[in-house]
Amino acid sequence: MSVDNTNQEVNEELEMQAKQIAGLLDAHANRLSMRTLKQLENGRARAIKAHGQQLTDTSVNADGTLSRMTSWVGHHRLAATGLVLATLVSSFVVLKSLNNNDSSDAFLLSAELPPEAFVDKGFEPSLNVPDSHLQQKT
């Protein structure tokens, strides 16, 4: 118990010392050479200019949506690539299903029954008969 207390006291003392050192470092950080300060100021000026540019770009659009989208793409390149791939895959699937529609049109036109028969509920029982049953009948 007393060992734990001693350790805690030592740690608290060390933490206090660390904060004092941080204070000294902070005070020392304010004493930089003129050249360094000038260069930091230049860097800050460039950053603020870039920031202003970003704000102007956003306000060019009516609601800023396009700019935000461009910025989003810039930040999330992997996600943007994924989105493009997903779009490609989904468009491929849609195209494929359109092709299937073409083949169903061909089936309707080549069937012995008139196309209206496929929407007439009276024909449903005969249309739902599996192929194997039809083959057996023939």
Please tell me the distance from the alpha carbon of residue 39 to that of residue 33, in angstroms, as a whole number: 10
Contact flag: residue 30 with other proteins (CB under 8 A): yes
Please tell me the distance from the alpha carbon of residue 115 to that of residue 105, in angstroms, as a whole number: 10
Contact flag: residue 55 with other proteins (CB under 8 A): yes
Contact flag: residue 43 with other proteins (CB under 8 A): yes
Query: For residue 26, which amino acid is it?
Result: D
Contact flag: residue 26 with other proteins (CB under 8 A): yes
User: Which phi and psi (to 5°) does residue 111 adopt?
Assistant: -70, 155
Q: Which stretch binds other proteins (CB under 8 A): 27-35, 95-103, 119-127, 128-136?
A: 27-35
Contact flag: residue 39 with other proteins (CB under 8 A): yes
Please tell me the distance from the alpha carbon of residue 8 to that of residue 17, in angstroms, as a whole number: 14
- Binding residues for other proteins, rule CB under 8 A, total 44
User: Terminal CA-to-CA distance of the chain, rounded, Å?
Assistant: 97
Three-class DSSP category at 128: coil
Q: Which stretch binds other proteins (CB under 8 A): 48-56, 77-85, 95-103, 119-127?
A: 48-56
CB of 1 to other proteins, least distance (A): 20
Q: How many CA atoms lie within 13 A of 63 on its CB side?
A: 2
Q: Which spans of this chain sit near other proteins (rule: CB under 8 A)?
A: 11, 13-37, 39-40, 42-44, 46-48, 50-52, 54-55, 58, 68, 71, 74-75
